[in-house]
Amino acid sequence: MSNISDLLFEKKECAKVFSTASDVGKKLNIPVYLVGGSVRDLLMGKESYKDIDLMVEKDSGTFSKELAKALKVKTIIPFEKFHTYKIPYKDIEIEIAAARKETYKPDSRKPNKVILTSIEDDLSRRDFRVNAIAVSLMKDNLGEIYDPLKGITDLQNKILITPKDPDTTFSDDPLRMLRAIRFSATLNFEIDHKIKESIKEQSHRIKIISYERITAEIIKILSCEKPSIGFYLLKETNLLEYVFPELNVMSGVDVINGHSHKDVFIHTLEVVDNAAKLTDKMDIRFAALVHDIAKPPTKKYYKNKGWTFHGHEEVGRRMLRKVAKRMRLSKELRDYLMLLTKLHLRPIALAKTNITDKAVRRVMYEAKGYIDDLMILCRADVTTKNKKKIAKYMKNFERVEQLMSDVKLKDEMRAFKSPVDGHTIMKTFSLKEGKTIGIFKSRIEEAILDGNIENNYDAAYQYMLDIKEEVFKNN
């Protein structure tokens, strides 16, 4: 594969960007290339054109202004120090950067010096060879692939290798260590052995990265098909100790008098993977990740009981306030995680016989509209390999959901009343208070429940008029 011009123009909006960039490049005599993840995903057959990365050899500022003008976009976001510009175009974010080399200070991932250079040097500074493939957008060789570092070979072999020595790559930008884990999890790629060893050696340098960036990578890992891949790699490479210490200490099994407990870390990742199978909702997956966060600090052994984690749901709720602050989570997500962690044991208790409507109603009330999310978490929390036990647990959850449905219906029936009130009936027919008013209301309610009329004022009022003679005749 040497030319992919046909792939460039498969999507209308993207084709517009590419053809316009090509025209601008010719007009200004500036070489322009498509680079980065856009090329990688294009070659892998993935549709991920939310971001388009363009690289130009020369003046990125002039090129960006002309491109924005040609696309009829008024907004340009400049990062002039780094010769980088962003253009929001419809649902796409276009980033234009000049081909460059960079130098870094040990305590920062931001370049302290940027030197304009050639496409060859620019590609060699990137994180992984699979992200160091360029596609020409120039008129004379439109769609031609430029792959000096053999990134396509890595794509075919499904492996992540750095263009430079990995120690240099990660020293320049420690965030690349997390990106290696994330790419491995999302793309299902192996990480080269030398890269893993380099990450282990430099894992402590992740501390210079802002927690906003760390959290963003964790959320991307949670969003993939099998999140456990990423978290096992975080553990293996020592990164978990720095990015999520509360998860790191979950690992391991204690044995006293022959009694052991399950490995909480392994269990947690099984729950996360189960949640990923049940829902695409990231918030639920995050709740699965943290629901047992307090098991390590609440773990105790009793001679007569064995291992216990008493009160871990409440302790976990309190712990999450501190975790959320460190990870820069939104207040909404923080409160959601605290709520589901607090309640994650409650639904199974409702499966007991002779449970009262009051108990069911309380859990539904405390869940604050997230009862469905809570039930998904509860199902995900079943990690036993015993098929009979799984069937039993799932049957219990079905029973709980039926109890909730029954209580909800009872409450709705209790609250149900005629859309037409007594005052309206009295005014319409010039009636005084009496049993006739109640008869009209009962007839309307019955008609709605039987499905004969819609549950709204207009339908109920018309029905009242239709039955007036019958009601007055019989009363």
Q: What is the mean pLDDT of residues 428-450?
A: 87
Model confidence at 104: pLDDT above 80: no
pLDDT on residue 106: 67
- Decide the pairing of beta strands 51-56 and 92-98: parallel
pTM, full prediction: 0.80
pLDDT on residue 273: 97
Q: What is the pLDDT of residues 297-337, one digit of tens each?
A: 988 877 777 777 888 999 999 999 999 999 999 999 999 99
What is the pLDDT confidence band of residue 45, given thresholds at 50, 70 and 90? confident
What is the pLDDT confidence band of residue 457, given thresholds at 50, 70 and 90? very high
pLDDT on residue 259: 64
Tell me the percentage of the chain whose pLDDT exceeds 70.
92
1-157 and 158-243, same CATH topology:
no
Domain 1-157 class, CATH top level: alpha beta
Higher pLDDT, 455 or 270: 270
**126, 151 in Cβ contact below 8 A?**
no
Chain centroid, CA 280 distance in Å:
7
**128, 162 in Cβ contact below 8 A?**
yes
Model confidence at 152: pLDDT above 60: yes
Q: Cα(310)–Cα(301) distance, rounded to whole angstroms?
A: 11
Q: Cα(245)–Cα(433) distance, rounded to whole angstroms?
A: 69
pLDDT on residue 413: 65
What is the pLDDT confidence band of residue 396, given thresholds at 50, 70 and 90? confident
CATH number of 158-243: 1.10.110.30
Q: What is the mean pLDDT of residues 410-439?
A: 85
Most confident residue range from 11-20, 133-142, 233-242: 233-242
What is the pLDDT confidence band of residue 147, given thresholds at 50, 70 and 90? very high
Mean pLDDT of the chain: 88
Q: What is the pLDDT of residues 158-207, one digit of tens each?
A: 999 999 999 989 988 999 999 999 999 999 999 999 999 999 999 999 99
Beta carbons within 8 Å of 127's beta carbon, 6+ residues apart:
162, 169, 173, 176, 179, 180
One-letter identity of residue 77: I
Of the CA atoms within 13 Å of residue 282, those in its CB half-sphere come to 11
Q: Cα(38)–Cα(35) distance, rounded to whole angstroms?
A: 6
Instruction: Tell me the domain boundaries of the chain.
Output: 1-157, 158-243, 277-399, 422-474
Q: What is the pLDDT of residues 46-65, one digit of tens each?
A: 766 678 999 998 788 899 99
Higher pLDDT, 37 or 270: 270
